[in-house]
Structure 1
Amino acid sequence: MVRKRIPLSTRRGFIVGATATLASPAIAQYIPGDPLRPAPGDEPAVRRNISGFRALEWQPYFSNTRNGAILVDTVSRALHYWSDDQSTYKLYPSSVPLTEEMTRRGRTSVIRKVEGPTWAPTPSMKKRNPEWPDFIPAGPDNPLGTHALYLGWKYYRIHGTHDTRKIGRRSSNGCIGLFNNDIAELFSMTKVGTQVLLI
């Protein structure tokens, strides 16, 4: 029986590829106590939903667009924005709450805007995760990212995230998350009083 020699370049490619495959799960490892990453099993096996987005008209959801209007669709995991004069329409992929129990739906509005927000876990978050810190200042470790729109409901916000893996998934503890560049753009267009509807 004659043994075939595998070229050196092919063997090297196989070894590099196999090594990368074996090492890849370590990139997204869970770090206990890290509020930016859910514990294993906390996030349902749901694929990102970014490719399923479609533009919507504002009329079925709002009677007017006074002060601008934000619609968050928790099923398609998308945030829609219409300016006051309807000249601007934006569609952003978002993260939504992990479970139905954490999901709030209905009408509210933006009551405060904060650039460089700080973060503290809610009492219910602290109860579920007592190892979490009591406070995180603004910066790269802050779960609220670079900007936050505070809503009329206590503890609920539309905010950025430094953990881009969360976008397009059920991954939050109740808030709506956007890529930092998207929340910065939305932040610049919204005002206190912008209408918000979560469906």
Structure 2
Amino acid sequence: MQDVRAIAAPAVPTRRALLIAAAALLAPSAAAGAEPDQPPDDAVMRNVSGFVAPRWQQHFSSPANDVILVDTRSRSLFFWSADLRVQRIFPTSIPIREEFTRRGRTSIIRLVEGPDWRPTPSMLRRHPDWPTWLPPGPGNPMGSHALHLTWPAYRIHGTHDDNKVGRRASNGCFGLYNHHIAELFHLVRVGTQVRVI
């Protein structure tokens, strides 16, 4: 009688194993001379949901003075430092209505820690019960930090209402979690380029 040993069935690769293998094939290889300070390729930035982080070159001619891209479709804010060594992605709130959304190029003209808040005349017409001014603090919709843009009344700022982040929730500004805006506040400078798409 022939000695029959248990023959293992070929392993069926799991979805996770396939994704890891695909990422390994698409990732820049250190052995191939990829430099660790270079930003990863778009393929490496993808996650399983299909989210693809943009590259700064798609939106700016140069990263000089740092660059910020606000993507209203993905509700994300992307930051690249001028030397490209620092990159961040933050979820953000976007304007509640399309008519409040301004797109295009601007830049940061002022950095404020502990901002106060003054609603615009159009906001007060829509909401006559709102106060005309609020000091810094928990009731202030500007959160802990604000980055003023060249567009009057438009800001990238924090929020004390975490439920707004990632949603259509603002009157035109872009709101980040307070801990994210605090991090971004210490990365940017006056003159940082901003593009909203």
TM > 0.5 fold call: yes
What is the CA-CA distance between 1:110 and the residue it aligns to? 0.1
Paired position in structure 1 for 2:148 = 150
Aligned residue pairs total: 149
The answer (yes or no) to whether the contact 1:148–1:158 under 8 Å persists in 2 is yes
Q: How does 1:145-184 map to 2 (within 5 A)?
A: 145-184=143-182
Q: Which amino acid aligns with 1:124?
A: S
Q: Per-residue CA shift, 1:101-132, capped at 9, x if unaligned?
A: 00000000000000000001100000000000
Tell me the secondary structure at the aligned position of residue 126 of structure 1.
helix
Paired position in structure 2 for 1:198 = 196
**Quick one: distance in 1 between partners of 2:160 and 2:75?**
18
The answer (yes or no) to whether the contact 1:52–1:76 under 8 Å persists in 2 is no
Paired position in structure 2 for 1:133 = 131
Tell me the secondary structure at the aligned position of residue 97 of structure 2.
coil
Q: Please tell me whether residue 87 in structure 1 is matched to residue 82 in structure 2.
A: no
What is the CA-CA distance between 1:58 and the residue it aligns to? 0.5
Paired position in structure 1 for 2:9 = none
Q: Please tell me whether residue 118 in structure 1 is matched to residue 105 in structure 2.
A: no
Paired position in structure 2 for 1:67 = 65
What is the CA-CA distance between 1:56 and the residue it aligns to? 2.0
Q: Per-residue CA shift, 1:14-51, capped at 9, x if unaligned?
A: xxxxxxxxxxxxxxxxxxxxxxxxxxxxxxxxxxxxx7
Tell me the secondary structure at the aligned position of residue 58 of structure 2.
coil
Paired position in structure 1 for 2:103 = 105
What is the CA-CA distance between 1:55 and the residue it aligns to? 2.2
**Quick one: distance in 2 between partners of 1:52 and 1:91?**
16
Structure 1 segments, 4+ long, off by >4 Å, are none
Evaluate the alpha carbon distance shift between residue 135 and residue 72 of structure 1 in structure 2; reply closer, same or farther with a 3 A threshold. Answer: same
For CA contacts below 8 A with separation 6 or more, give which structure has more relative contact order: 1
**Quick one: distance in 1 between partners of 2:134 and 2:79?**
29
What is the CA-CA distance between 1:57 and the residue it aligns to? 1.1
Q: Which amino acid aligns with 1:156?
A: Y
**Quick one: distance in 2 between partners of 1:116 and 1:53?**
33
- Sequence identity percentage: 60
When the two structures are superposed, what TM-score results if normalisation uses the length of structure 2? 0.74
**Quick one: distance in 2 between partners of 1:52 and 1:61?**
20
**Quick one: distance in 2 between partners of 1:84 and 1:148?**
21
